[in-house]
A = this chain, B = another copy of it.
Amino acid sequence: MPFGPPMIGALLRVPWEAVQSHMLRRLHENGCADFDAAYLRVFGYPGPQGARPSELAARLGMSKQALNYLLGGLERAGYLERQPHPDDSRSRRIALTPRGLGAVKVIRDAVAELETSWTQRLGPKRFAQLRKMLQELGRSPLPPT
């Protein structure tokens, strides 16, 4: 027996990629043409505002060097600044610039737009169920070895 109809992996991947590309598209259309796809990770919920690079890297599951590389690009593009941290002079505090706050808004609006579209397509009740189930699965552990 071949795979049944498309498996859960593919089913999850497709709409997830749709979210990604829609966010990026709206960014490019709204004054953030230099916003790279990789930057989306940094701006993922709950965003970098006020965080320390090290903490943010841990939250995103990447090395601090990798994050630092992305932060360099974002700072050069004027989306954020790495300020000295008030409580620890080794550390830094990430502060979004007005442009960075604008990008956050564009992203949030893009997601809201997609959620509206999907709510229409599935119906509000079913979409709420979808959200709830995905949240439950997000807390679900993987099967053990």
Q: How far is the CA of A20 from the CA of B6 in the complex (A)?
A: 15
Task: Tell me whether A89 is interfacial, beta carbon within 8 Å.
Answer: no
Among B6, B46, B121, which residue has its beta carbon within 8 angstroms of that of A45?
Answer: B6
The list of the 10 closest CB pairs from A to B, nearest first, reads A12-B16, A11-B134, A14-B138, A9-B19, A15-B137, A7-B111, A130-B133, A10-B45, A117-B143, A22-B142
Other A-B pairs beyond A7-B108, A9-B111, 15, CB < 8 Å = A3-B47, A7-B111, A8-B115, A9-B23, A10-B44, A10-B45, A12-B12, A12-B15, A12-B134, A14-B138, A15-B140, A18-B142, A25-B142, A117-B142, A130-B134
15 inter-chain pairs at a CB distance below 8 angstroms, sorted by A residue, are: A3-B45, A3-B108, A6-B45, A6-B135, A8-B111, A8-B114, A8-B134, A11-B131, A11-B138, A14-B138, A15-B140, A18-B137, A21-B142, A121-B140, A122-B137
